[in-house]
Amino acid sequence: MPKGSSHKVESGESLYTIAKKYDTSVEKLKDANPQLESDNLQLGEILALPKGIAKHDDEKLSKTERKKIDKLQKKLQKHSVASGESFYVIAKKYNISVEELKIVNPQIENDKLDVKDVVFIPGTEEIAVKEKKGREEKKKERESNRIENTEEKTNNVDPVVSVVHEVSPKETKYGISKRYGISIAELEKLNPQIVNGLDVGQKLTIKGAAKGDEVVTTKEVVVSNDTNETASTSTTETTEGKLEVLPLSADVAMKADFLIEKASENLGVRYRGGGTDKNGFDCSGLMFSTFKNIDMTLPRSSSDMAANSGVKIDKSQAQKGDLIFFATRGRWVGHVGMVTEVLDDEIKFIHSSTSSGVIISSTKEPYYAKRFVQINRVLN
């Protein structure tokens, strides 16, 4: 080990670059290192520095210089050191010199980098500003969306709104209440002027008519999940028309293609009650697992999905990525799949069947044609 100041040769260094670094000459370096037989240096070789030259790393930074560097580092892009990386590798990656990199990173002692050390990259002030600005804009956007969602929830407690109905000839209170899914008592409470009868042309206030003139009624139905458990529950069903929805946007269509691709990776996997992985899926387990790929958590039974996931749409509006439901246990919603393709008069869907496991089937097959119940749009 040389006495006095020394330098450890790094990858890519030469006598010329080392001499330049210490503001000396190649000849003086050679004089201080008579053991050198050529100008070729070995990685990790220790060179003695000419007398009177101190390592830059040995020079203490003044408080003023330290503050300047601290201030500069706050504006620079950060790089987390990966396994096997050195100053030379990082400098090459960012197209800068090793010396430039070391100048803005005096906190690194003895040029030794450890995994996950943070290194600041000179010349990236503009990038750091843009990244900060981008983070701030995203934060503002999230805050704006939060406020909008809060306002929407405040102004629209649910998707049901009040509408005005004009009484037509031959209409009855029973017919109107049935049409809008409310009781005659509720209708009269909202419109006390009709207690003794209706007049043609009267304007009635209706609470409970869904947006888009979707007419809703509440009735008692029996539902079941895919693990043969049954329950009686009150659910809302469309009785006159379905909710009109727009076609899928390009972004949502890409998301649907991605879901179809992920579900198709399981083609041939066996059916298993309660299963949600490649050891076996039940029908809702396949949907539950598939939609998890886009961080969407669906209910864990087909009947629950039918009642609580997305919006019910008309069969004519079906598109890939929609959920399709069937009554496989009498009048119960007991089976679910995902639409993969829509043709003129046929819908193809991927699902996990008890007999064949994960397969693609069609609504033209007699079994499913007879048992079709509804389609829900869950992507938006």
Catalytic residues: 283, 335, 351
| 139 phi, psi to nearest 5 deg | -65, -45
**Identity (one letter) of the amino acid at 232?**
S
274: alpha, beta or left, given left = phi > 0 and alpha = psi -120 to 50? left
Helices (H) and strands (E) in the chain, counts: 12, 16
Sequence-separated (6 or more) residues with CB below 8 Å from residue 80: 116, 117, 118, 119
Segment holding 324, helix H or strand E:
strand 323-326
Sequence-separated (6 or more) residues with CB below 8 Å from residue 143: none
Task: Report d(CA 349, CA 347) in Å as an integer.
Answer: 7
Three-class secondary structure of residue 105 per DSSP: coil
Closest CA to 243 of 218, 209, 291: 209
Closest CA to 80 of 118, 45, 113: 118
DSSP 8-state symbol, 214: B
| 209-to-151, 165, 176, 181 alpha-carbon distances in Å | 21, 10, 11, 8
Task: Report d(CA 310, CA 161) in Å as an integer.
Answer: 18
C-alpha atoms less than 13 angstroms from C-alpha of 120 in its C-beta half-sphere: 20
Q: Is the dihedral of CA 354, 360, 362, 366 positive or negative?
A: negative
Across 151-310, the runs of DSSP E, i.e. the strands, are 160-166, 203-210, 215-224, 230-240, 276-277, 280-281
Task: Report d(CA 353, CA 267) in Å as an integer.
Answer: 11
DSSP 8-state symbol, 332: B
Sequence-separated (6 or more) residues with CB below 8 Å from residue 72: 104, 120
